[in-house]
Chains A and B, each alone.
Chain A
Amino acid sequence: MSATPQVLDVRGLRKFYPIHRGLLGRLVGQVRAVDGVSFTIERGETLSLVGESGCGKTTTARCILRAIAPSEGDIRFRTGSGAEIDVAQLGRKELRPLRRQMQMIFQDPFSSLNPRMTIAEIIGEPLLVNGIGDVRTRNARVSELLDLVHLPGAYLNRFPHAFSGGQRQRIGIARALALNPSLIVADEPVSALDVSVQAQIVNLMLELQDRLGIAYLFVAHDLSVVKHVSHRVAVMYVGKIVEVAPTSALFDAPRHPYTEALLSAVPVPDPRLRAKRIVLEGDVADPSDPPPGCAFHPRCRYATEQCRQETPALEEVSPGHWVRCIRAQELTLRGVAVAGEGSPPS
C-alpha cells in the first residue's frame, strides 16, 4: 500500500459554520459540520465516505475540492509530477492549475448541466477555460470522451433536456474526465437514478477506474452501492470519522457500534434473510449541539458511563482498520452475511 503513492492525504480537516442570532448577529455557536477528519486515498483506489444526514460527508467532499474553504486542516494533494501541495490554504489563482487534477460528479443530473449549453459545449468547457488545444483538438477530445462514457457521437449538438437522468450523469462524468484528473469526487452520483440505471453508471465508473487509473472519493448513503464500488470505506457520524477499513473487513466484521447499526438497517433483497434488526433509538445527533463525550453514546447499545465522559480518538485496531470507540477491543459486532453465502438471488 505504501509503494503506490497516495494521491490525497487529508489531515485534521475542520469546517465550522457560525450561528448568528439576534438583531446584531451575535455569534452564539457553531455547526461543527466537519470536526477533525483525516484519511488518505491511494492512486487508483476508491474510498467511500458514508453516513447519514448531517454527518459532514458532503461538506468534506466540497472542502477537498475547495468548492468551499475549510476552517482548518491540511489537504495534501499529490500532483501528476509527484509534488505534494497543500490545497487547503491556496488562493484562487494558485488553485487554478490544480483544478485540473481533481474533478467532481454531482448528485442531481438535472442541475449539474447548464440547460442552455449543448453537451459538446458542456464537456468541452474545462478544455476551453484552461486553454487546452485549438478548436479541432478540443472537438476530437470531446468525441473521445463521449466514447469513453458510451454515448453516441450524434448527440453532440443536443441540449441536456433531451437526455434521461442516466445519460446526463454520463455527460457529467465525461466533463469530469476532460482534464484527465487523478482524483474524482463523486457526491452521491447514483442516488437520484433508477435502479437499472444505477447499475449502468456504477459499472461505467468501475470500468473507467480500470482503464484510466482514477481514484474516487465516493460519497454515499447507500451501503449497497458502496459495497460494489469501494476498496475502503470510511463511516462518518456528526463530523467525525468513526471507522475506516477495507470494504470486506468493514462489512463482515465492523468494529464500531454505529457501523453495526447501519449495516443492520440496510434492507437485504432476500426474504429468506430477514434477520433481527438492530433498531437505533432517537434521531441522528445535531452537529450544532453534539452530545458530550462520544457523539454516538446516547443511541449506542454498548455505551457505558465512560463513553459519556471521554471523547474517543481514532485508533488502529488491526492493520488498515481504524475505529473511534473506547470499547472497540472488547466488543464483537455483527456484520452482514459473508459474500458467497446468501448471495443475491437470481
Chain B
Amino acid sequence: MSSAVSDSAPPLVTEAETRVAVATQRQLIWWRFKRHRLAVISAGIVLAFYVVAAFADFIAYAEPFDTEAARSYIPPQPIHWFDADGNFRPQVYALKGKRDPRTFKLAYAPDPSDPRDLVLFGHGYRYDLFGLIPTDRHLLGLANGRPQDAIFLLGTDQLGRDVFSRLVLATRTSLTIGLVGVTLSLALGVLLGGMSGLQGGWLDTVIQRVIEILRSVPTIPLWMGLAAAVPASWSPQRVYFAITIIISLIGWTELARVVRGRFLALREEDFITAAELAGASRMRIIFRHMVPSFLSHIIAAVSLALPAMIISETTLSFLGLGLRPPAISWGVMLQDAQNLQTLGLAPWLLFAAVPVIVVILAFNFLGDGLRDAADPYG
C-alpha cells in the first residue's frame, strides 16, 4: 500500500518556521550573522569609519595644510562643557602668547580667560562636499573666529597643523586605498582563481606556482623595491594609484586560492552534475549554480583582505615609501611620530595608530563573523 500522504516536512506550523522554509540562503546567512554580537558591533564600527571617510571634510574643522608656527606642538585641549556659572555651554580656550621670562622664547598656550563658544555647523575652511557641493560648514566651529585658532581636540604637530582634522582626512585616504586595492585584487583573484579551478590541468598548475612564488617573496623588501621604482617626480595622486596597484598585485593571491578551492569543491557536487545532465550550458552552470554558492565566501575573504591592504599602505607610507607629504594618510601621520624626540615632546602624535588598530580589529571580527555565517552549509 503506497503512501497517499507524503512524508511531511519538519512541521511548518508556526509562522517562524515557515519563514525559515522560504528563507533564501542570503537570509539564512544574515540571521546567522546577527547572532555574532562581536561581528555585528564590528560591522557598526567599520560602517562608522566609512561614514567619517565620506564626510571627512565636514567632520574636520581645521585646514590640513594650514601651517602656523605659533601653534606648534600644542597638546590636546579638552572641551569645557560648563562655563564658570555652571551652565551647559561648550567652550574652548583661545591661544595666547607668553614670553618665557628666562629664555625669552615666545610660547603659545590656551588661555582660560579667553573662552570661545563652540557651535555645531560652524564656519571653517572652504571645501566641496562629496566633491560637488561647495560649502564652508563643518561639524564643529567657533561662534566667532577661525576654528583652528582655538579647537585642538588632539593637539597639533610640529608645523602647527591640527592632528584631529588631519586624522579624519587621513582616514578617507587610507580607507579608500583599501577599497580600490581590494577591488583590483578581487578582479584578478576571481578571474585567475576561477580559471584555475574550472579548467584545471596545466593552467591550474602554472597559476598555482605563480601564486606560490609571489607569496614566498618577503613582502616588505618586495614593496620597498617596487615603491622605490616609483619616480619621485610623480604627483601624489599618481603615487597613490601606483601604490594601490603594487599592493593589489600581491593581494590577489589569497582570493584566488579561495575562489579556486570553492570551484574545485563545487565541481564535484551532485547538483552540478544534475544541471549538466539537464543540458545546462557551461555559462549557466558557472553563473547560476557556482558563483552564488561562493559569493558569501568571497565577501568574507574580501573583508579580511581589506585590513591587509590598509596595513600595507600604512606600512609603506610609514617607511617613507608610499604616500608622501603633502598627501595625508595614517602611515604618513605615523611617520611624524618616528623619532624619540618627538615622542618625548608630543606623544599625542602617536594617536594616529589608534584608528589603524581599531579598524583592523573591527574588519577582522567582521570577516570572521561573515565567514562563520557563510559556512558550514553555505
Contact = CB atoms under 8 A, between A and B. Distances in A.
Interface in B93-142: none
A112 B278 CA distance: 13
A67 B278 contact: no
A204 B3 CA distance: 9
A112 B8 CA distance: 20
A157 B24 CA distance: 10
Interface in A142-174: 149-152, 155, 157-159, 161-164, 166-167, 170, 172
B2 A200 contact: yes
Given A129-B280, A129-B281, A197 B7 contact: yes
A161 B377 contact: yes
A102 B277 CA distance: 8
B279 interface: yes
Given A100-B279, A130-B279, A200 B270 contact: no
A239 to B, nearest CB: 22
B378 to A, nearest CB: 8
Nearest to A194: B7
B22 A159 contact: yes
Nearest to A163: B9
Contact of A151 (B6, B28, B274, B378): B6
B270 A125 contact: no
A116 B25 contact: yes
B280 A116 contact: no
Contacts of B8: 164
Nearest to B269: A111
Interface string B16-30: 000011111100100
Interface centre among B8, B28, B277, B377 (most CB of A within 10 A): B277
Across the A-B interface, the 9 shortest Cβ-Cβ residue pairs: A162-B21, A126-B278, A112-B270, A203-B2, A150-B6, A106-B270, A99-B279, A114-B271, A129-B280
Interface in B271-299: 271, 273-281, 284, 289, 292-293
Interface in B220-261: none
A162 B12 contact: yes
A65 B274 CA distance: 11
A157 B377 CA distance: 20
B271 A113 contact: yes
A96 interface: yes
B10 interface: yes
A179 interface: yes
B23 A167 contact: no
Nearest to A65: B277
A197 B278 CA distance: 26
B292 A116 contact: yes
A103 interface: yes
Interface centre among B3, B281, B284 (most CB of A within 10 A): B3
B277 A67 contact: yes
B10 A99 contact: no
Interface in B133-167: none
Contact of A67 (B9, B271, B273): B273
Contacts of B28: 161
A252 interface: no
A111 B266 CA distance: 10
Interface of B: 2-10, 12, 20-25, 28, 269-271, 273-281, 284, 289, 292-293, 377-378
Interface centre among B20, B25, B284, B378 (most CB of A within 10 A): B25
Nearest to A196: B7
A159 B279 contact: no
Contact of B3 (A67, A115, A129, A200): A200
A200 B4 CA distance: 10
B274 A175 contact: yes
Interface in A187-218: 197, 200, 203-204, 207
Given A116-B24, A161-B377, A164-B10, A125 B278 contact: yes
A164 B12 CA distance: 12
Nearest to B12: A162
Nearest to A125: B278
A96 B276 CA distance: 9
Contacts of B9: 155, 158, 162-164, 167
Contacts of B25: 115-116, 159
A148 to B, nearest CB: 11
B273 A104 contact: yes
Contacts of B377: 115, 161
B271 A111 contact: yes
Nearest to A109: B270
B6 A108 contact: no
Contacts of A126: 278-279
A65 B279 CA distance: 12
Nearest to B2: A203
A326 B155 CA distance: 98
B24 A159 contact: yes
Contacts of A107: 270
Contacts of A166: 7
A158 B21 contact: yes
Given A99-B279, A125-B280, A158-B22, 7 more contacts: A103-B277, A108-B270, A112-B270, A114-B271, A159-B24, A161-B28, A167-B9
Given A151-B6, A167-B6, A200-B2, A116 B293 contact: yes
A178 B281 CA distance: 18
